Structure 1
């Protein structure tokens, strides 16, 4: 009996140990599955953040100071083949040194105010409704830009201007004649098209479209590419003109619908859409101006984020309590991952600036210096102004070609291998060294954030890892390439956007000294840069005053009071 009891006890003990082992194994597997689910969720969050930064940074491209404005023939208008080109000159709000202090201060005031308002109201639903309505309304413009540009991108893939057929030959669609011409690799027409050509690209062009279907395809292409000129005038208030297309109108109503639906349903998906729209709009209108200001702004917010997350309850409470589009939220089962829009926009602004820096460097390397005999006005040792003639070199900037969009054309023209492309397509391909360096730095910063989140099981201040990642990658790349002084001098405040600059060059043809700006064949070195800037501003002010005087004189005669019109524009060839 004792033996039986002993054997039974030993068997039970063995079974218990086995069951414990199985239970531990199951817990380990479940923990791994949970961690995998968490990592998949976080990967979705990181890719979403990087995606909107990548798209927004490319949408923010405009003519760099190292490129000349494209010349247009007198009496001609700039027609956009795809209708998605924005103006070469974009209006942006550049940050100033004072913003390096005000950003964290204002952010702190708003965060603390929201925290105590939540504590006072007890029920955050009232605050959520007010903020949802306010942010939904304010995000309509940003959503419109995101939707319109997104639809323009889709149109570029369906109805590109250029594409290569299966034979590898470049083709160009002409909407005005509704024909597809054969071109050489740089876009020069070699064989004119014929009636009945399909406007669809690539292998789709081989589809046997009947006469009616072919006409419908060209009609659809014209519908999405045709531009209308919208004019709005109110006496004493302003005269506005804008080119609009079908995609713009669809985007306008879609952005309003998105805002209305979100404000009434509070969908987490639509909240993320509005968040992406706000990020995208920020990249289009805000600029760090230069590396110093961008570094100071990020450094100040780096300290702010650490203090607010680790040493106060403000950040975590507000982020988890408010259900408004000030964050990206991704959910999977019982897990939820949150990333504040500030963790996307603030590093993203510097990353977009880095992309524009790459474009500036790309055109800077194309600048040429043309020998020119000039009259130079300068002061001698006694202070007397003298004029002498001397052979100097005038800076010749290359004309700017729009670097935005053309992703559809790049896809269809490059699908059959690496071949030359027309200038309006290849312009979007330029070395993006500093931008990709910051992308890697941002990805590493997010990886560090997620690692610390798994280790400490609590919310982490993302800027603690993102700021060193983005700034560090930018500075390390600049030092490694020996270009720190060069990029430190790049600014978007307009001071380096000059023309007719005269320089001295060395034996290798590189500019070594800036002498001044040429005006009417004379270079005046007797005035400093500040005086020249003041003179330019004064001259611009005089022109504005004269234009206003002429306008006011005309207004005293019979004039329009209010007018709204929509005019069709000629069909562009492309």
Structure 2
């Protein structure tokens, strides 16, 4: 994912031993040295020989840009269909008639047999999901054949939505560190080199959202694009989503931090576009988005005296056995309570 908002005037924008109930034998100094030495060697080999081979590659490229774009297109064709199908499924469910024959299906792959049988893939879906997958496949073929900007944006929006939905930060401190690191990364690769902008313009893949500036003149066949990298959406987005979950944890029936950070994102992106338009040069959007998305909510927390609560908030891991056990216990108690009420009636 590139994370530069491009200049529109340029035409674009320990577990094993514990699980078996046995203690692991202590590692010997020789074993430790062998392990670390092997890791070091494995790290050095690709760097050394890759550097040597890069010289030959620079003299005569093995793959042209066309073949790389074809490979990326096929890769994002599959990912885009799955992401778009997952995105539109909740909305499409509202349009299916009540008498729609919604059959259930299960895709199950196992290995072994008897007591040693182990599930590898267990995916359940229904007929509605298949319809959504079919519609998404039509968009995928359209993108593959035409590379049309609307198909690109449908895939890009699906990737962004799924990214914000599925990628979770567990606390605000981690989010601040992540955004701070990517802030430096983005500024360097946009202002320090031309790599970020070149990649964004060269590779035909839905790693960015694009919109034509000459839409009014050329209609849907417009080709003078401004672009925004998906990283500028997903990275701040997962931080904003974290603040929404923090709002909910406060149990005050307000979403102050979410709305503040969301407004901050709008301000930061608007400022990016303004600066880009004034200086006629691609801008690292995170340069403006990160201070806004972190600074505004922190100022609100200072005003409300909730800075400690904000930075001490940490989401529990839903896969944590203790959390699962506690949840199961609560569910069992609730079921027993309902059963008792029925008997009393």
TM-score (norm 2): 0.67
Partner of 1:221: 98
Q: 1:270 and 1:478 mapped to 2: Cα distance? A: 41
Greater radius of gyration (CA):
1
Structure 2 partner of 1:486 = 309
Q: Is the 2:265–2:292 contact (alpha carbons within 8 Å) kept by the matching residues of 1?
A: yes
Q: Does residue 234 of structure 1 match 2:123?
A: no
Q: Counting strand residues as a fraction of each chain, which structure ranks higher?
A: 1
> Could you tell me how far 1:271 is from its partner in structure 2?
1.0
Equivalent residue for 2:236, pick from 339, 347, 364: 347
Q: Which residue of 1 aligns with 2:136?
A: 255
Q: Which of the residues 442, 448, 452 maps onto 2:275?
A: 452
- Establish whether residue 434 from structure 1 lines up as the match of residue 257 from structure 2: yes
Q: 2:339 corresponds to which residue?
A: none
Q: What is the CA deviation profile of residues 132-156 of structure 1, one whole-angstrom value per residue up to 9, with x for unaligned ones?
A: 111222233322210212213xx1x
Q: Secondary structure, in 3 states, of the residue corresponding to 1:323?
A: coil
Is the Cα–Cα contact under 8 Å of residues 110 and 121 in structure 2 kept in the other structure?
no
State the SS of the aligned residue for 2:98. helix
Instruction: Give the match's secondary structure for 1:230.
Output: strand
**Alignment correspondent of 2:197:** 316
Query: Quick one: structure 1 residues 311 and 324, their matched pair in 2 at CA, closer, same or farther if it must change by over 3 Å?
Result: same
Bigger mean CA offset, 241-250 vs 275-284: 241-250
Contact map agreement 1:142 1:278 (CA 8 A) in 2: yes
Distance in 1, Cα, partners of 2:209 & 2:137: 20
Q: Deviations over 1:62-89 (max 9, x none)?
A: xxxxxxxxxxxxxxxxxxxxxxxxxxxx
Residue ranges of structure 2 left out of the alignment (5+ in a row): 1-7, 14-53, 113-117, 215-222, 326-345
Where do 1:50-129 residues align within 5 Å?
Answer: 120=61, 123-129=64-70
Query: Which runs of structure 2 are paired with 1:62-461 in the superposition (5 Å)?
Result: 120=61, 123-152=64-93, 155=94, 220-223=97-100, 228=104, 230=106, 232=108, 234-236=110-112, 237-238=118-119, 244-333=125-214, 335-362=224-251, 430-461=253-284
CA distance in 2: counterparts of 1:460 and 1:262, whole angstroms: 27
Paired residues for 1:26-65 under 5 Å: none
Distance 1:247 1:480, change over 3 A: farther
Given the two structures, how large is their TM-score scaled by the length of structure 1? 0.41
Deviation of 1:241 (Å): 5.8
TM superposition shift of 1:229: 5.7
Instruction: Give deviations 1:111-141, integer Å, cap 9, x for gaps.
Output: xx9xx98x94795222111111112222333
Measured after TM superposition, the shift of residue 243 of structure 1 is 5.4
Larger proportion of helix: 2
Aligned residues: 260
Q: Distance in 1 between matches of 2:86 and 2:138?
A: 14
Contact 1:282–1:345 (CA under 8 A) maintained in structure 2: yes
Match of 2:315, SS? coil
| Highest RCO, 1 vs 2 (Cα 8 Å, sep ≥ 6) | 2
1:470 is matched with 293
**Cα distance, 1:454 vs structure 2:** 1.5
User: Offset at 1:230?
Assistant: 3.2
Decide whether the 8 Å contact of 1:229 with 1:241 is kept in 2: no
Q: Distance in 2 between matches of 1:141 and 1:235?
A: 25
CA shift in 2, pair 1:489/1:221, >3 Å? same
| Aligned-partner Cα distance in 1 for 2:127–2:106 | 12
